[in-house]
Amino acid sequence: MGSKLVNRNWVKLLVLCIVVSFIIIFLVNTDIENTKQALRSVGFKFIYLLIVTYVAYFFGTWSWHVCLGEERKKISLFQLFSVRQIGETVGQFNPTSVVGGDILKAKLLQPYQIDNAKALSSVAASRITAVLSQILLFLIACLFLVLNNKHLAWISSWGFGFAALIFLLLLVQVLFIIWISKTHNLERRQSSADASFIRKLKNRIQNLIIDIRIFYKNDRKMFWYSYFLAAIHWIIGSLEFYLILIFLGFDIRIMDGLLLDMSVIVFKSFGAFIPGQLGVEELGNKLMLTLMGISSAAVWITVSILRRARQIVWIGIGFMLYFFIKKDVQSAAKSTSDIKMLDSQ
């Protein structure tokens, strides 16, 4: 038992070192001087970008909060916001991407006496509603682009491919909702003590899927409530792109900002295993700005730097929020020990 505990501590330390190392690599590869110049060009308006992202993250947290069901009474929105921000930061700089970040979120809920199975299922459910709402918004933005930007030559060239993509994504949405609506085979799978790592992982994934289906079956209202809040999260988050381009003197529409943001997020998902998506996000920014008719290299660099600057700020905030969580962990541990002491008396 003692050797297992030691091994587990070594694994935690190794993961922590990997995440911190990737954050350092991210910061080293960030051109600080160019970042300063980009910030000077925008000035105090950079605060607006931080406010927009904060509001977006708040709605993302709220979307997760409703997925906790009755367990949400045990944790406030601010505490959950802290947990989410830490998990998202780790997920961004973890080789396992959102998987590692989401598992950490569930672990960080344990001090609040939230059932571990419920914690894991809430994380999975909120991730699903986030992805589904993102796909829907991406579809809406694509349709808007096709119908309102006929002057862009590439749209007419790729019109069939664009239509096929829209149809495919819409089909995925519909089929997934139909699939989770099915009520058969909702029995959770148990792993034996001597089961292989692959077998345990497979059972865990299957149980998470079952938990999502159970959540949808038992509380469809909350599922769609989470979906709606997740959509608001994406819409507000897309205002970052919109505001940056407005600050740089471009006359664009909010829907253009939504399309840019949704497309870059989809592009980044292909490089999720790369720490901080270094280079991948910048390439996505370049590609989408060019497709929107903004080909200036200076604008592309400024947009990329400002978005990276925002990430650096939230990384710092994530580290600060960790100490709030640590304080909650210590107080929860003290409360648990006091209860045990009273029980023994």
Residue 326 binned pLDDT confidence (cut-offs 50, 70, 90)? low
DSSP readout, 199-219? HHHHHHHHHHHHHHHHHHHH-
Whole-angstrom distance, CA of residue 227 vs CA of residue 300: 32
What average pLDDT does range 192-200 have in this prediction? 62
What average pLDDT does range 136-143 have in this prediction? 82
Across 25-34, 239-248, 297-306, the highest mean pLDDT is recorded for: 239-248
Query: For residue 334, what pLDDT is reported?
Result: 54
Average pLDDT over the chain, rounded to an integer: 75
Q: Per the domain annotation, does 47 fall within a domain?
A: no
What average pLDDT does range 152-159 have in this prediction? 58
152 and 259 Cβ atoms separated by less than 8 Å: no
Structure tokens at 46: 């950079």
Q: Per the domain annotation, does 10 fall within a domain?
A: no
Residue 9 has pLDDT above 90, yes or no: no
Across 150-154, 193-197, 295-299, the highest mean pLDDT is recorded for: 295-299
Smallest Cα–Cα separation from 139: which of 117, 106, 172? 172
What average pLDDT does range 121-127 have in this prediction? 87
Smallest Cα–Cα separation from 40: which of 243, 299, 302, 297? 302
Report which DSSP code applies to 75: S
Q: pLDDT above 90 covers what percent of the chain? A: 12
142 and 259 Cβ atoms separated by less than 8 Å: yes
Radius of gyration of the chain (CA): 22
pLDDT tens string 231-276: 999 999 999 989 988 888 888 888 888 888 888 887 777 665 666 5
Query: For residue 215, what pLDDT is reported?
Result: 81
Q: Per the domain annotation, does 34 fall within a domain?
A: no
Structural domain containing residue 223: 57-338
Query: For residue 336, what pLDDT is reported?
Result: 47
Q: Per the domain annotation, does 196 fall within a domain?
A: yes
Q: Per the domain annotation, does 220 fall within a domain?
A: yes
Q: Range with the lowest mean pLDDT among 43-47, 196-200, 212-216, 240-244?
A: 196-200
> Coil, strand or helix: which one is 118?
helix
More confident residue, 339 or 47: 47
> Coil, strand or helix: which one is 277?
helix
Whole-angstrom distance, CA of residue 118 vs CA of residue 67: 9
Residue 338 has pLDDT above 50, yes or no: no
Residue 323 has pLDDT above 70, yes or no: yes
For tokens 């700089």, the residue is 93
Whole-angstrom distance, CA of residue 345 vs CA of residue 339: 10
Residue 191 has pLDDT above 90, yes or no: no
More confident residue, 246 or 27: 246
Query: For residue 6, what pLDDT is reported?
Result: 45
Query: For residue 345, what pLDDT is reported?
Result: 46
How many structural domains does the chain have?
Answer: 1
Residue 41 has pLDDT above 60, yes or no: yes
Residue 40 has pLDDT above 60, yes or no: yes
Q: Per the domain annotation, does 14 fall within a domain?
A: no
Task: List, in sequence order, the alpha helices (H) in the chain.
Answer: 2-28, 32-42, 46-67, 77-92, 98-108, 116-148, 153-157, 159-181, 197-218, 220-247, 254-269, 280-291, 297-344
Query: For residue 340, what pLDDT is reported?
Result: 43
Q: Per the domain annotation, does 20 fall within a domain?
A: no
Q: Per the domain annotation, does 23 fall within a domain?
A: no
Query: For residue 51, what pLDDT is reported?
Result: 94
Length of the chain: 345
Q: pLDDT above 70 covers what percent of the chain? A: 67
Across 8-12, 136-140, 276-280, 341-345, the highest mean pLDDT is recorded for: 136-140
Residue 342 has pLDDT above 50, yes or no: no
Question: For the whole model, what pTM was predicted?
Answer: 0.77
More confident residue, 186 or 88: 88
Query: For residue 12, what pLDDT is reported?
Result: 53
